[in-house]
Structure 1
Amino acid sequence: MTINLGDQYDVILDAREDRCPMPLLKTKMALSKMTEGECLCVKTCDVGSLKDIPQYVALVGLSLLSTCEDSDVYTFVIKKS
């Protein structure tokens, strides 16, 4: 599923240099500081994030608006709701 948000995010988390479990932990930390309705864009190169981040988002009841892969960079757009 892809939703064009016009590249307008409230928070952008660049975790491309991090390895498991840091992308997920940094995602959790970023979300904890955000308010309801804000969007977080996470960029990571860790293949484990393809499983970890969507599972976490579903577990805590947030909205995963978009997931994409481009040249080994995985991008997730999460709406805090």
Structure 2
Amino acid sequence: MVMEFNKELDARGLHCPLPILKTKKALADMLSGEVLRVLATDSGSVRDFQAFAKQTGNDLLEQSEENREFIFFMKRK
């Protein structure tokens, strides 16, 4: 099943904390209930996105890894 999203953020090549900071900024520009797809290559981002979701109340709908790239779907609270 393909996850639908409203906006995409390419954070590939960025290291902590930039993927999270850019995600926070992108979510701030979105409406409640919209979904942001984030692409990242930093292996620490898996742990960071889980913590970010808990701290902010935004939902981490899905996370996966393909070819050393991490894909996150965040739903704006």
The AA in structure 2 aligned to 1:48 is G
Structure 1 consecutive aligned stretches of length 4 or more whose deviation exceeds 4 Å: none
1:26 and 2:22 correspond: yes
TM-score, normalised to structure 2, is 0.92
Counterpart in the other structure of 2:11 = 15
The AA in structure 1 aligned to 2:48 is D
Summarize the alignment of residues 36-75 of structure 1 with structure 2, pairs less than 5 Å apart: 36-75=32-71
Query: How many aligned residue pairs are there?
Result: 77
Counterpart in the other structure of 1:80 = 76
Where in structure 1 are there 5+ consecutive unaligned residues? none
TM-score, normalised to structure 1, is 0.87
The AA in structure 2 aligned to 1:42 is V
Offset from partner CA, 1:10-37 (integer Å, 9 cap, x none): 1100111211111111011101111101
Partners of 2:53 and 2:27 lie apart in 1 by: 10
